[in-house]
């Protein structure tokens, strides 16, 4: 690894803007964000609907960054911070793989610069301040049972999903039912990801709703006098983090909102910073194009001047076969018929991206078991669906050298002025109309059914003046529908909304479709990490 000061200097960053965190990582002062109109080309990296086999979206993003660096381009990748929960659960580390890695991967994956801890501490401080105000009756009509703000932890712990707090007598009150979510599901994490500066962070934090009075009036973080204390814990967490790829290109890793509860994208300040120094910024959006990409466009890009020039959509032969009906155990067995059937998922998502006006470059992440016949089916299907190009990527095995053809295709796709963006709904449409537009365009549903409870809750949100906020659909990541078991391109169904919640500080309403868990549980055999004699983490 290069010293982080060398990485910054090569990008054109003044080292006076760095707050080094050891030799190979640093925080960057917000003053380094250029406001002079200088701007590179932003590319959003998304993917096919995820499968248990893994598609390698981060690996592709990092490898493509390395490939563009080999072509002499000044390029930066902007990624979310990995969450500790999945690292010890099923997913493992979130820094790529093979020869396309973010370094130092052990630091980025575990603790990093403390941002996630700051978010968790701020979230739980707000919970404590809210409990205190309710217990002491300092806000008329605001009682403990009206608190909606839960607590968070960064470990997957299903036993904390539903709990009772305050047991053991009046000194430990208030007694109330509550629960824990994972830190990445915290609204404060989403707020941090979307804040443009410290003033905007303070304003967003003050709007967070922690509960309601007897008259159903919202109680906010400002009402419990919390925003100043939260700012003291988050003043450094808002600063983006600089690290590097395995080949020395700069990577900004910052914030990690959940991809199916929140908007699943790295920070606004990270993208704004990178765009002022790089020719190309590759920004990854969480999960598939029906989640991360859609939310990137309607929540992150639309309100922050971050409209991209193109999209890279990552797919694999294995994922296409899975959506064509193959069992996970058979994904390494050649099956051109399953590839043909599964292409309906990939071509649908190509259509979703193209509907925004962006050119789509499909990156086919190569596996040794891929056959030429299967690859040809995917390439023909992508061409028929209107993709700008469909290119094999071998960045896992070969690093940047394995992504040269992909990088060249992306450069061609972004040649010329930035495209005019088409959004799927007017910003002033009603919440129900916004959800209907997404259900029909993105989820391929015929309509939307709102439960009676969700309709009542939504009427209350509209009465509070929140009806004009964008929507952030919370749904499964394993299907374009609300049902996790439906592969491919489900059709002829009704999209089911069971609940609706408000993240007023983050600035969106999130309808909950199907059954969504905000606190994952550990698998039967959790991932085991270890440390060698020199203190290096093994098993990431």
CATH class (in words) of the domain with range 4-114+237-413 = alpha beta
149-168: per-residue pLDDT in tens?
Answer: 999 999 899 999 999 999 99
Give the chain's end-to-end CA distance (angstroms, integer): 18
Question: Would you identify the CATH topology of the domain 115-234?
Answer: Domain 2, N(10)-formyltetrahydrofolate synthetase (3.30.1510)
> How deeply is 69 buried, as exposed, middle or buried, from its count of CB atoms within 10 A (0-12, 13-18, 19+)?
buried
Q: What pLDDT, on the 0 to 100 scale, is given for residue 90? A: 72
Cα 5 to Cα 109: distance, rounded to the nearest angstrom: 21
Separation of alpha carbons 242 and 251, rounded Å: 6
pLDDT for position 212: 97
User: What is the structure's pLDDT at 529?
Assistant: 84
CATH 3.30.1510.10 location in the chain:
115-234
Count of all residues that appear for the chain in the document: 540
> In this predicted structure, what is the pLDDT of residue 1?
94
Q: What is the pLDDT of residue 316?
A: 98
pLDDT for res 522: 86
Distance CA 77, CA 65 (A): 6
Q: Report the topology of domain 431-513.
A: Formyltetrahydrofolate synthetase; domain 3 (3.10.410)
State residue 181 phi and psi, 5-degree precision: -115, 170
Compute the chain's Rg from CA coordinates: 23
SS3 223: coil
The tens-digit pLDDT sequence of the chain (540 residues) is 999 999 999 999 999 999 999 999 999 999 999 988 788 999 999 999 999 888 999 999 999 999 999 999 999 999 999 988 778 877 777 899 999 999 999 999 998 999 999 999 999 999 999 999 999 999 999 999 999 999 999 989 999 999 999 999 888 989 999 999 999 999 999 999 999 999 999 999 999 999 999 999 999 999 999 999 999 999 999 999 999 999 999 999 999 998 888 999 999 999 999 999 999 999 999 999 999 999 999 999 999 999 999 999 999 999 999 999 999 999 999 999 999 999 999 999 999 999 999 999 999 999 999 999 999 999 999 999 999 999 999 999 999 999 999 999 999 999 999 999 999 999 999 999 999 999 999 999 999 999 999 999 999 999 999 999 999 999 999 999 999 999 999 999 999 999 999 999 999 999 999 888 888 888 888 877 889 998 888 887
Phi/psi at 89 (nearest 5 deg)?
Answer: -105, -115
Q: Tell me, what's the pLDDT at 334?
A: 96
Strands 151-153 and 180-182: parallel
Helix locations, 276-363, DSSP H: 294-295, 317-323, 336-355
The segment(s) of the chain belonging to CATH 3.10.410.10 are 431-513
pLDDT at 273: 97
Is the bond into 104 cis (omega within 30 degrees of 0)? yes
Q: How far apart are CA 297 and CA 352, in angstroms?
A: 11
Q: How far apart are CA 155 and CA 30, in angstroms?
A: 30
Helix residue ranges, H only, 136-267: 187-194, 198-207, 227-234
As a whole number of angstroms, the distance between CA 339 and CA 378 comes to 7
Angle between helices 187-194 and 115-135 in degrees, nearest 10: 120
CA dihedral 140, 146, 152, 156 (to 10 degrees): 170
Rounded Cα distance, 122 and 221, in Å: 11
CA distance 273 to 277: 7
Q: How far apart are CA 292 and CA 340, in angstroms?
A: 25
Question: What would you measure as the largest C-alpha separation in the chain, in angstroms?
Answer: 70
Burial track 9-24 (b if 16+ CB lie within 10 A, e otherwise) = ebbebeeebbeebeeb
Four-residue CA torsion sign, 302, 307, 310, 315: negative
Residue 485: count other Cβ atoms within 10 Å of its Cβ: 9
Cβ contact 358:59 at 8 Å: no
Domain with CATH 3.40.50.300 in the chain: 4-114+237-413
DSSP codes, 20-87? ESSSS-EEE-GGGS--SS---EEEEEEESSP-TT---HHHHHHHHHHHHHHTT--EEEEEPPPPHHHH
- The helix-helix angle for 227-234 and 115-135 (nearest 10°) equals 160
- How confident is the model at residue 538, as a pLDDT? 84
């Amino acid at each position: 690894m290069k010293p982080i000061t060398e990485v910054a200097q090569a990008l054109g960053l003044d080292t006076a803007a760095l707050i080094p965190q050891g030799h190979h990582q640093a925080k960057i002062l917000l003053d380094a964000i250029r406001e002079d109109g200088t701007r590179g080309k932003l590319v959003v990296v998304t993917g096919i609907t995820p499968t248990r086999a893994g598609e390698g979206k981060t690996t592709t993003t990092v490898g493509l960054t390395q490939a563009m660096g080999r072509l002499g381009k000044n390029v930066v990748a902007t990624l979310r911070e990995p969450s500790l929960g999945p690292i010890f659960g099923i997913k493992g580390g979130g820094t790529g793989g093979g020869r396309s890695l973010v370094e130092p991967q052990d630091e980025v994956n575990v603790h990093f610069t403390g941002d996630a801890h700051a978010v968790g501490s701020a979230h739980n401080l707000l919970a404590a301040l809210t409990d205190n105000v309710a217990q002491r009756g300092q806000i008329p009509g605001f009682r403990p049972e009206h608190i909606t703000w839960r607590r968070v932890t960064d470990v997957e712990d299903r036993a904390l999903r539903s709990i009772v707090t305050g047991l053991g007598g009046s000194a430990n009150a208030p007694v109330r039912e509550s629960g824990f979510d994972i830190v990445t599901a915290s609204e404060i994490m989403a707020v941090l990801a979307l804040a443009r500066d410290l003033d905007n962070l303070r304003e967003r934090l003050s709007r967070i709703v922690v509960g309601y009075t007897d008259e159903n009036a919202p109680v906010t973080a400002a009402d419990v006098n919390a925003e100043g204390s939260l700012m003291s814990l988050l003043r450094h967490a808002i600063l983006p983090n600089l690290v590097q790829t395995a080949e020395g290109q700069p990577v900004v890793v910052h914030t990690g909102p959940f991809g199916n509860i929140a908007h699943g994208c790295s920070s606004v300040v990270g993208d704004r910073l990178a765009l002022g120094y790089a020719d190309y910024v590759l920004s990854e959006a969480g999960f598939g194009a029906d989640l991360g990409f859609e939310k990137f466009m309607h929540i992150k890009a639309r309100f922050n001047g971050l409209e991209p020039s193109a999209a890279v959509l990552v797919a694999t032969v294995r994922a296409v076969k899975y959506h064509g009906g193959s069992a996970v155990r058979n994904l390494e067995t050649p099956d051109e018929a399953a590839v043909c059937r599964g292409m309906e998922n990939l071509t649908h998502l190509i259509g979703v991206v193209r509907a925004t006006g962006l050119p789509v470059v499909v990156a086919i992440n190569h596996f040794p078991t891929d056959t030429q016949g299967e690859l040809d089916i995917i390439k023909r299907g992508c061409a028929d669906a209107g993709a700008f190009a469909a290119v094999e990527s071998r960045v896992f095995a070969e690093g940047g050298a394995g992504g040269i053809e992909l990088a060249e295709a992306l450069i061609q796709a972004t040649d010329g002025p930035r495209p005019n963006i088409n959004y799927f709904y007017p910003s002033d449409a009603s919440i129900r109309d916004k959800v209907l537009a997404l259900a029909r365009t993105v989820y391929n549903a015929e309509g939307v059914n709102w439960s009676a409870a969700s309709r009542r809750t939504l009427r209350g949100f509209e009465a509070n003046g929140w009806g004009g906020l964008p929507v952030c659909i919370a749904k499964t990541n394993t299907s374009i529908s609300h049902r996790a078991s439906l592969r491919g391109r489900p059709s002829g169904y009704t999209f089911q909304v069971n609940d609706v919640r408000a993240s007023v500080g983050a600035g969106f309403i999130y309808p909950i479709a199907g059954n969504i868990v905000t606190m994952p549980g550990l698998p039967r055999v959790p991932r085991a990490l270890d440390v060698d004699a020199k203190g290096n983490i093994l098993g990431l």
